[in-house]
Amino acid sequence: MRKGDRLKEKIIQKEQIGKWLEKLGKDYEIWAPVKRNGLVLFHPISSAKEVYFNFLNSKKTPKDLFFPQSEVLFSFPKEEIEKEVETILQKPRIVFAIRPCDARSLALLDQVFDSEDYQDPYYIERREGTLLVGLACTHPQQSCFCTSVGGGPFAKAHLDLLMADLGDGKYFVEALTERGEGLLEKNDSLQEPQKKDREKLAKIKEEAEEKVKSKLVTKGLEKKLDKIFDSSLWDRVHQRCLGCGICTYLCPTCHCFALLDEKDKARVERIRNWDSCMFPEFTVEASGHNPRISNRERMRQRVMHKFNYFVERYGETACVGCGRCIQSCPVNMDIREIIEEIRNE
Amino acid sequence: MENIYLPHSAIVKEIISETADIKTFRLTFEDERLQKSFTYLAGQFVEFSVYGVGEAPFCLASSPTRPGQIECTIKKMGKVTQAIHDLEVGDQVGIRGPYGNGFPLKELRGKNLVLVGGGIGLAPLRSLIQNVLDKRDEYGDVLIIYGAKSTEELVYQKELEEWENSPRVKMVLTVDPGGEDQKWQGEIGFVPTILEKVNPSPDNRMLITCGPPIMIRYVLLGATGEMGYRPQQIITTLEMKMKCGLGKCGRCNIGRVYICKDGPVFTYQQLKDLGNEF
């Protein structure tokens, strides 16, 4: 590769991906979608054979890689504390084949964990040490609505690289950052995209976008929510909800957590666990007073936080339209229907 | 990068038993430099850790005008406060902070003040009262209305006398009906009722209140009713379940604000604008 060559757009043959990943694996820990026990989840891989390319999206979001479901923040005696933060990552990481919606969710989490006033070192350390190689969605699902909340199946935002399966044994790859270009440089069998490759890309992109059938109107939603805090709508929409919290656990933008101590004879650990605004105990004060006393208030909080409070604070909706909450709800609650009801209220 | 979750080690220097279930803890940071440089605003809070039990937020009940004094007044309510009450002088605890916005001293300067407290709710007001008394010339008349369920449940009993004897300070103490004893010379009645009875004029005055939610509610209603206070003239400091204190864990999100980072001090007007989650 000559210096100065633009690495922006390339073609990678499908059969070359294994070699490329193998090479990258020397410098990076690679996390990719892997199918185990019927579930597609992001796992560290040692060979490209493990990658499950035909996934629609992973059951759990890759947010776990940056904000783990449970982690020891530090322990006492004190000497061990600083060391623990600095060695969070043994090696820089690549999240390979992350979906554009999930990449966007990380940018939203950045607003919370890397805010101007307080920076979360655990999150930032992992975020800075991780590259995102996206895989465009050629088969969006019935529950997807990314295009209604500012994303898209081929959206490039917040990725280092975006790959798209052209369906003919080739991947179209676009480097979106310098770090992404660096990853491409490790591949010595890149080809220049031809006109027909570009045409193919445009076609599958258009087809994918068309497959995102849900069209939600989110314009004006924030303002509307301002007005309906006391509406009887909230009495209705929560009725079916069991309060199980799966929607918040699988949501790529939910970031609520609890801090607690665990202790054995040798040491004390301060642990951070995911928590959920859908749980009654979430807001119970020591006095027993609970400002969000029933499911009605908790459901309202979840919707308001995503589509009103977060928008006001950070300028964006805290939803990327991945549809996981819709797929996994045990009683078929559908956030799209709730938004529709709000609009019609 | 600084670890925002990591508490600083502090030592319990003194424990003052206020009531049967309320104690004041005076703390000193182990790191001398931190002890010297630690500053805060009246109305701010800290996260207090008992290692192995957990962490909980408490307001600083001391005043920044008295350097070196770091005090929290804590009522035994739950798991962490029980562990705090079990502490002895010399024990090591963890402190991080200060957090939150604190009282808007700029807006209070030059004005008459009425401080309305109930029970342990006097703790954040004490920070402000000490601050005001230490800068006495900067503020107008001070009226303190403080009540508890019974005479035994009044906190800072010695200090209440000191305040009463300070220049341009009027104190009105009250206990709930049935909470008086034979020696009691103060008022008998709930705090909001006594506030209406004393009826301090809203002219050039700010009202600052803290206490149980039900008390705050009736103080707000009473003051903005016939007493004629505008919601902008009333300040309260709120409690909400908190974990991180940093606006991240999501728990204390009420309306568009995080109590921990945008509060805990709000004007009644601000609370009204938040919708009626309270």
Q: pLDDT tens, B248-258?
A: 999 888 878 88
- pLDDT recorded at residue B2: 86
As a whole number of angstroms, the distance between CA A345 and CA B12 comes to: 56
| B92-99/B205-210 β-pairing | unpaired
Asked whether the predicted pLDDT for residue A339 surpasses 90, the reply is yes
Closest A-chain CA to B244: A259
Whether A291 sits inside 8 A of B1 (CB atoms) is no
What's the mean pLDDT in A262-279?
Answer: 90
Phi, psi angles (nearest 5°) of residue B122:
-75, -20
Whether A268 sits inside 8 A of B54 (CB atoms) is no
**Residue among A71, A84, A118, A301 with most chain B CBs within 10 A, to mutate:** A118
Q: pLDDT tens, A129-162?
A: 999 999 999 999 999 999 999 999 999 999 999 9
**Residue among B256, B259, B276 with most chain A CBs within 10 A, to mutate:** B256
Query: Any CB–CB contact under 8 A between A273 and chain B?
Result: no
Structure token pair of residue A318: 């805290």
Query: Any CB–CB contact under 8 A between A78 and chain B?
Result: yes
- Work out the percent of chain A whose per-residue pLDDT is above 70: 95
Asked whether the predicted pLDDT for residue A83 surpasses 80, the reply is no
Dihedral angle at the C-alpha atoms of B50, B51, B56, B62, nearest 10 degrees? 40
A215-219's contacts with Cβ under 8 Å and 24+ in sequence apart are A215/A145, A215/A147, A215/A148, A216/A145, A216/A148, A216/A149, A216/A336, A216/A339, A216/A340, A217/A148, A217/A343, A218/A148, A218/A149, A218/A307, A218/A317, A218/A339
Q: pLDDT tens, A199-216?
A: 999 999 999 999 999 888
Asked whether the predicted pLDDT for residue A79 surpasses 60, the reply is no
Q: Report helix, strand or coil for B24.
A: strand
Closest B-chain CA to A124: B1
| A170-175/A93-98 β-pairing | unpaired
As a whole number of angstroms, the distance between CA B221 and CA A225 comes to: 27
Q: pLDDT tens, A4-15?
A: 455 689 999 999
Chain B residues with beta carbon closer than 8 angstroms to that of A121? 1-4
What's the mean pLDDT in A110-120?
Answer: 94
What's the mean pLDDT in A259-274?
Answer: 90
- pLDDT recorded at residue A2: 46
**Residue A292, CA distances (Å) to A216, A277, A304, B118 in order:** 28, 9, 13, 23
Name every residue whose Cβ is closer than 8 Å to that of residue A250 and which is 6 or more positions away in sequence: A59, A60, A61, A324, A325, A328
| B234-237/B265-267 β-pairing | antiparallel
- pLDDT recorded at residue A291: 86
Asked whether the predicted pLDDT for residue A1 surpasses 90, the reply is no
CB distance B173 to B195 below 8 Å: no
Q: pLDDT tens, A220-236?
A: 899 999 899 989 999 99
- pLDDT recorded at residue A181: 94
Chain A residues with beta carbon closer than 8 angstroms to that of B255? 304, 309
- pLDDT recorded at residue A323: 96
Q: Worst-scoring range by mean pLDDT, A74-88, A112-126, B154-168, B225-239?
A: A74-88
Show the DSSP H helices in A28-87 as ranges: 81-86
Chain B residues with beta carbon closer than 8 angstroms to that of A270? 5, 49, 55
Whether A124 sits inside 8 A of B243 (CB atoms) is no
What's the mean pLDDT in A107-112?
Answer: 96
Query: Any CB–CB contact under 8 A between A279 and chain B?
Result: no
Structure token pair of residue A209: 């976008």
Nearest to A291 among B81, B261, B278 (CB): B278
Chain B residues with beta carbon closer than 8 angstroms to that of A263? 51-53
What's the mean pLDDT in A172-197?
Answer: 94
Whether A120 sits inside 8 A of B4 (CB atoms) is yes
- Residue environment code for A146-174, b if the CB has 16+ CB neighbours within 10 A, otherwise e: bbbbebbbbbeebbbbbbbbbeeebbbbb
Cα radius of gyration (chain A): 22
- How far does chain A reach from its first CA to its final CA, in angstroms? 60
Show the DSSP H helices in A150-308 as ranges: 178-185, 195-211, 221-227, 233-237, 246-250, 295-304
**Least Cα separation, residue A222 to chain B (angstroms):** 12
As a whole number of angstroms, the distance between CA A307 and CA A311 comes to: 6
Structure token pair of residue B196: 């209406």
Query: Any CB–CB contact under 8 A between A223 and chain B?
Result: no
What are residue B70's DSSP bridge partners?
B27
Query: Any CB–CB contact under 8 A between A270 and chain B?
Result: yes
Asked whether the predicted pLDDT for residue B231 surpasses 60, the reply is yes
**Least Cα separation, residue A258 to chain B (angstroms):** 6
As a whole number of angstroms, the distance between CA A124 and CA A43 comes to: 20
Q: pLDDT tens, B63-96?
A: 999 988 899 999 999 999 999 999 999 999 999 9
- Tell which residue, A149, A148, A185, A192, has the closest CA to residue A170: A192
What's the one-letter identity of residue A242? L
Structure token pair of residue A28: 């990076």
pTM above 0.95, yes or no: no
**Residue among B80, B120, B244, B276 with most chain A CBs within 10 A, to mutate:** B244
What's the mean pLDDT in B37-48?
Answer: 96
Query: Any CB–CB contact under 8 A between A268 and chain B?
Result: yes
Q: pLDDT tens, A283-336?
A: 988 888 888 989 999 999 999 999 999 999 999 999 999 999 999 999 999 999
As a whole number of angstroms, the distance between CA A310 and CA A306 comes to: 6
Q: pLDDT tens, B169-201?
A: 999 999 999 999 999 999 999 999 999 999 999
Nearest to A119 among B1, B55, B277 (CB): B1
Query: Any CB–CB contact under 8 A between A87 and chain B?
Result: no
Whether B243 sits inside 8 A of A229 (CB atoms) is no
Closest A-chain CA to B214: A289
Closest B-chain CA to A78: B9
Domains of chain B: 8-99 (2.40.30.10), 105-237 (3.40.50.80)
Q: Would you kindly state where each structural domain of chain A is located, as residue ranges?
A: 9-211, 221-344
Closest B-chain CA to A117: B246
Sheet of A39-45: strand order equals: A9-13, A170-175, A161-165, A130-135, A93-98, A29-36, A39-45
How many angstroms from the chain centroid is the CA of residue A143?
16
Whether A309 sits inside 8 A of B278 (CB atoms) is no
Chain B residues with beta carbon closer than 8 angstroms to that of A76? 51
- pLDDT recorded at residue A90: 87
| H or E stretch covering A112 | helix A100-113
CB distance B61 to B124 below 8 Å: yes
Query: Interior CA angle at B123 toward B119 and B124, to 5°?
Result: 125
Dihedral angle at the C-alpha atoms of A228, A234, A237, A240, nearest 10 degrees? 170
- For chain B, list residues whose CB is within 8 angstroms of any CB belonging to chain A: 1-6, 9, 49, 51-56, 77-78, 80-81, 213, 239-241, 243-244, 246-251, 253-256, 261, 275-278
pLDDT band, very low/low/confident/very high, at A263 (cuts 50, 70, 90): confident
**Residue B169, CA distances (Å) to A195, B90, B117, B134 in order:** 85, 36, 15, 13
- pLDDT recorded at residue A285: 86
Tokens 């990380």: give the residue: A106
pLDDT band, very low/low/confident/very high, at B276 (cuts 50, 70, 90): low
As a whole number of angstroms, the distance between CA A8 and CA B178 comes to: 80
| B205-210/B234-237 β-pairing | parallel
Q: pLDDT tens, B17-32?
A: 999 999 999 999 999 9
- Work out the percent of chain A whose per-residue pLDDT is above 90: 81
Whether A82 sits inside 8 A of B2 (CB atoms) is no
Whether A74 sits inside 8 A of B276 (CB atoms) is no
Name every residue whose Cβ is closer than 8 Å to that of residue B202 and which is 6 or more positions away in sequence: B223, B227, B228, B229, B230, B233
